Structures are given as structure tokens and as C-alpha cells.
């Protein structure tokens, strides 16, 4: 009798549950995920989900081995044609390739903007025009998704005033906010714009004068500015400013030398919209004259304080635990000569950009030659310099993490 050969039943394809797919994709770079949205409707749905964007952001922000997830944003000065644009590159590329210039992706900005901050993959942009008053507006931009928010309602400010801005995330209300601190003859005003709002709101102001020429530094739900502890003069804060700053080439710089005891950090909680004073590191010589004025920055999610030491060295302190004075730690004390740059009495030449998790490698921006990036390896005392593409002049160089967060 002839045997009938049995054909094995086809095996069912393996099933990947949604939770497992979400877990795997949450570790994938943002730009790859944007391409993956076209795989199927379900992938497009959960990759576009704001909750998935938060999970992905958390995963990206906590991994910084050799700058794996960090991007650098170079905000460039307009080209001869008047085009304003930004360059984006992966920070790790500076470690992996033997190159003397930065290889970056160009993003064209249709209008001239000022970068007022970076937070969760979003860039805060401030546009301005001159009418009968200064008119400012805010936009939030995500370079990874190439999406940008509509313009905020206009903020009108007097010509005879000056303004510091800030941008950050309010985790109390789960929204993004821009803050404008305006100093004028009438006094100080603080206004807040929340993403999607129909107007700017006034909030309680603080009775100190910011001296940091940079915009507010976002840390742990707060915006932080360097300020004078006390301003005592006739005519209010603006009169004090007019006697103590000059404006060469539209750059605000402070004329007088300031001492350690004159300065304080003002911290605005974006949720409570209240202020706190933070004190500078106590390891600094209290008689040291700061010239130029020190600056605040951010290194690996921690507030940092940088200053010039006697025109020879660049010094950086980091607040390891935000709000805890005893957590200030000195990270860097290196000579300008070793970093192959110079000292400028009017404004800071160097600013910290980011640092590797083990503390060995620090990236600095150098404005002495129109902004380049200095890679300083503290372990072997090695210095490398990277010029911007085609020697393009930049307003600033900052680090950020690519994300799927919607700016709209």
C-alpha cells in the first residue's frame, strides 16, 4: 500500500505584541522613527502618540555615552543673501572622525531669529521687528521632525529698554513656556507665553537686575539668570544699566568689574511662577574681580557657572544637585594658552557645550574666531579644534537631544 506523505502545517508567523514593539522602538533615533511611520497605520499611530514621544525622550536623555544621543545646533549668521539658518550635527561625530571641520545638516530659517533656549528637542526662537515699538514673537521648532509652531501673539516693548528671554518646560501643566524679562524706566516686567496661548501674561517680577548677557538657562523645570543682589541708584534699574553697559556691535557687555559677593542666581519655577535665590560656589575667592561678567550654562542637565580667572584661565563649576549649594563642584580650570584661544575683557570667549558622562571629554564653543568647537580631553590633556563649515560665523553653539515632541 502506497504511503501518503504528510505535509507539515505552515508555522504561524511570530507575534510581536504592541508593548514589545513600543519598548524596542523607544530606543530608536528620532529620525529613523519618523521614517518608520510609513510602515503601517498602527506604527504611525503610536509613533505619533505624545505619550510615546515622552517615553522616547526619556530614553534618549538618559543615554550619553560618548555623546551618543547629543546633537549640536550652530545658529549661523545670515549669509550674504540674507538667509538665516542653523546647522545640526551629531556630537559623537567629533570623536569618531579625523576631521578639522564640522560636518552638519543645514536647516533654512525663513526669518531672522534669536535662539532663546533648547528643551526636550525643541528650540525656542524669538523673532523681532521695529515698528513704533519693538515687536517680538516666539516660535517653537523641532529640527528632527522639521516642524515649527505658528507665531505667538506679539509682545510690544519700548525702544529704551532691554530684554532677557528664556524657554523651558513646565511639568506642572505639561506645556512649554517662553519668558521675557523687560527692564525699562518704568521698572521691571516679567511676561510669560505658554504654547498655544492667545496672549502673554504678566507675572510677579523680582527686584534684581540680570547681568548675564545670555538668555535664561533651563534646569529641572526652572529658568535661571545671573543677577546683581542689590541695585541702588537713582532713576531705577534702567538708569543703572545705561551707566554700566555699552553696546559695541550690538553686543551687551558690562563695563564694571564685579565681585563674588555682588552676584546671585535668580531661579524662576515655571510651574509655580515664583522665584528663588541660589548662591554661587563658596570655593571661589570672594575678592576676585569678575572681568568680563561670568555666565551660567548647562552641562549634562546640571547648572554650571563659568568665569575668567585673572585673564589666564577658564574655570567651570557644576551644581551636581540642583538647588543644593554644597553640590557645587569645580569641573575645569584650564589655561587659555592650552586651549589655543585668547582672553577678551568685554565678553566671554568660551562657553561649555557638553561633557561625556565620565567627565573626560568637554566640548567648548569658542567665539574668538566666530565660533568653533574645542574638544578638551582632561584625561590626557589633549586639545582639538573644529571649525564651522566653510568658516561660517555663528551666533551660538548649543547641544540638544533629538525628540518627537510636537512644537505645535
Partner residues linked to 274 by β-bridges = 269
Does any domain span residue 406? no
Average of per-residue pLDDT values in the chain? 82
Report long-range pairs for 93-99 (Cβ below 8 Å, ≥24 apart). Answer: 94/67, 94/363, 94/373, 94/375, 94/384, 94/386, 95/66, 95/67, 95/361, 95/375, 99/386
Q: Please determine, for residue 267, whether its predicted confidence score (pLDDT) is greater than 60.
A: yes
Question: Mean pLDDT throughout 384-407?
Answer: 83
- Distances in Å between the alpha carbon of 32 and those of 26, 37, 46, 61, 400? 11, 9, 14, 17, 17
For 358-383, what is each residue's pLDDT tens digit? 888 888 888 765 568 889 998 889 99
Does any domain span residue 193? yes
Question: Mean pLDDT throughout 220-244?
Answer: 65
Going by pLDDT thresholds of 50, 70 and 90, the confidence category of residue 2 is low
Element (H, E) at 325: none
Does any domain span residue 127? yes
DSSP 211-224: --SSPPEEETTEEE
Which one has a higher pLDDT value, 399 or 250?
399
Question: Mean pLDDT throughout 328-353?
Answer: 84
Q: Is 297 exposed, middle or buried (0-12, 13-18, 19+ CB in 10 A)?
A: buried
Q: What pLDDT does 92 receive?
A: 78
Question: Mean pLDDT throughout 223-244?
Answer: 61
CB neighbours (10 Å) of residue 5?
A: 5
Q: What pLDDT does 294 receive?
A: 85
Largest CA distance in the chain: 116
Q: What pLDDT does 393 receive?
A: 72
Element (H, E) at 57: helix 50-61
Q: What pLDDT does 298 receive?
A: 93
Does any domain span residue 283? yes
Q: What pLDDT does 149 receive?
A: 96
- Distances in Å between the alpha carbon of 281 and those of 90, 229, 306, 371? 32, 15, 11, 28
pLDDT above 90 as % of the chain: 38
Angle between helices 18-25 and 50-61 (to 10 degrees): 40
Which one has a higher pLDDT value, 56 or 133?
56
pTM for this prediction: 0.86
**3-state SS, residue 408:** coil
Strand pairing class (253-254; 258-259) = unpaired
**3-state SS, residue 8:** coil
Task: Tell me how far the alpha carbon of residue 11 is from its chain's centroid.
Answer: 52
For 18-34, what is each residue's pLDDT tens digit? 788 888 899 998 989 99
Exposure on the CB side of residue 217, measured as CA atoms within 13 A: 30
Task: Tell me how far the alpha carbon of residue 147 is from its chain's centroid.
Answer: 18
Q: What pLDDT does 174 receive?
A: 94
Total of domains in the chain: 1
Q: Who's near 76: CB < 8 A, 6+ residues apart?
A: 84, 85, 86, 87, 388, 392, 393, 394, 395
Report the distance separating Cα 167 and Cα 218, nearest Å. 7
CATH code at 101?
A: 2.120.10.30
Report the distance separating Cα 84 and Cα 74, nearest Å. 11
Convert 37-50 into a string of H (helix), E (strand) and C (coil). Answer: CCCCHHHHHHHCCH
Element (H, E) at 198: none
**3-state SS, residue 128:** strand
Does any domain span residue 17? no
For 193-231, what is each residue's pLDDT tens digit? 999 999 999 999 887 778 766 789 999 999 999 988 765
Q: Give the start-end residues of each E strand in 245-341.
A: 245-246, 253-254, 258-259, 263-269, 274-278, 289-290, 295-299, 302-309, 313-319, 328-335
Does any domain span residue 290? yes
For 138-189, what is each residue's pLDDT tens digit? 999 999 999 999 999 999 988 778 889 999 999 999 999 999 998 877 778 9
Does any domain span residue 176? yes
Task: Tell me how far the alpha carbon of residue 338 is from its chain's centroid.
Answer: 26
Domain that holds residue 94: 49-401
Q: What pLDDT does 347 receive?
A: 63
Q: What pLDDT does 165 receive?
A: 95
Report the distance separating Cα 402 and Cα 142, nearest Å. 8
Does any domain span residue 10? no
For 287-323, what is each residue's pLDDT tens digit? 666 777 788 999 989 999 998 888 889 999 999 999 9
For 39-75, what is each residue's pLDDT tens digit? 888 888 889 999 999 999 998 877 655 676 788 888 8
Report the distance separating Cα 400 and Cα 168, nearest Å. 13
Going by pLDDT thresholds of 50, 70 and 90, the confidence category of residue 245 is very low
Contact 358, 41 (CB under 8 A): no
Amino acid at each position: 500500500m502506497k504511503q501518503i506523505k504528510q505535509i507539515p502545517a505552515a508555522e504561524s508567523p511570530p507575534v510581536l505584541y504592541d508593548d514589545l514593539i513600543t519598548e524596542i522602538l523607544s530606543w530608536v533615533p528620532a529620525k529613523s522613527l519618523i521614517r518608520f511611520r510609513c510602515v503601517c497605520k498602527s506604527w504611525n499611530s503610536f509613533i505619533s502618540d505624545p505619550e510615546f514621544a515622552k517615553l522616547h525622550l526619556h530614553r534618549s536623555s538618559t543615554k550619553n555615552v560618548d555623546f551618543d544621543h547629543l546633537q549640536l545646533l550652530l545658529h549661523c549668521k545670515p549669509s550674504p543673501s540674507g538667509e538665516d539658518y542653523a546647522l545640526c550635527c551629531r556630537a559623537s561625530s567629533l570623536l569618531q572622525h579625523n576631521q578639522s571641520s564640522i560636518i552638519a545638516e543645514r536647516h533654512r530659517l525663513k526669518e531672522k531669529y534669536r535662539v532663546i533656549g533648547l528643551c526636550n528637542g525643541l528650540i525656542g526662537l524669538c523673532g523681532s521687528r521695529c515698528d513704533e515699538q519693538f515687536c517680538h514673537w516666539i516660535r517653537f521648532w523641532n529640527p528632527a521632525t522639521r516642524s515649527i509652531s505658528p507665531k505667538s501673539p506679539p509682545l510690544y516693548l519700548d525702544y529704551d529698554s532691554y530684554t532677557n528671554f528664556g524657554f523651558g518646560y513646565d511639568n506642572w501643566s505639561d506645556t512649554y513656556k517662553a519668558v521675557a524679562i523687560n527692564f525699562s524706566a518704568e521698572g521691571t516686567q516679567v511676561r510669560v507665553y505658554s504654547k498655544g496661548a492667545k496672549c502673554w501674561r504678566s507675572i510677579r517680577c523680582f527686584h534684581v537686575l540680570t547681568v548675564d548677557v545670555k538668555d535664561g538657562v533651563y534646569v529641572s523645570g526652572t529658568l535661571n539668570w545671573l543677577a546683581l543682589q542689590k541695585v541702588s541708584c537713582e532713576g531705577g534699574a534702567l538708569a543703572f544699566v545705561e551707566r554700566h553697559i555699552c553696546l559695541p556691535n550690538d553686543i551687551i557687555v558690562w563695563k564694571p568689574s564685579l565681585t563674588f559677593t555682588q552676584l546671585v542666581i535668580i531661579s524662576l519655577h515655571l510651574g509655580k511662577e515664583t522665584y528663588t535665590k541660589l548662591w554661587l560656589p563658596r570655593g571661589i575667592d570672594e575678592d576676585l574681580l569678575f572681568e568680563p561678567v561670568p555666565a551660567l550654562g548647562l552641562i549634562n542637565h546640571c547648572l554650571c557657572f563659568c568665569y575668567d580667572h585673572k585673564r589666564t584661565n577658564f574655570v567651570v563649576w557644576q551644581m551636581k544637585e540642583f538647588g543644593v549649594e554644597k553640590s557645587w563642584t569645580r569641573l575645569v580650570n584650564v589655561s587659555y594658552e592650552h586651549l589655543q584661544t585668547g582672553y577678551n575683557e568685554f565678553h566671554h570667549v568660551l562657553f561649555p557645550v557638553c561633557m561625556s558622562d565620565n567627565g573626560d571629554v568637554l566640548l567648548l564653543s569658542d567665539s574668538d574666531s566666530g565660533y568653533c568647537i574645542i574638544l578638551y580631553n582632561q584625561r590626557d590633556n589633549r586639545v582639538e579644534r573644529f571649525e564651522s563649515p566653510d568658516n561660517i560665523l555663528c551666533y551660538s553653539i548649543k547641544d540638544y537631544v533629538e525628540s518627537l515632541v510636537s512644537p505645535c
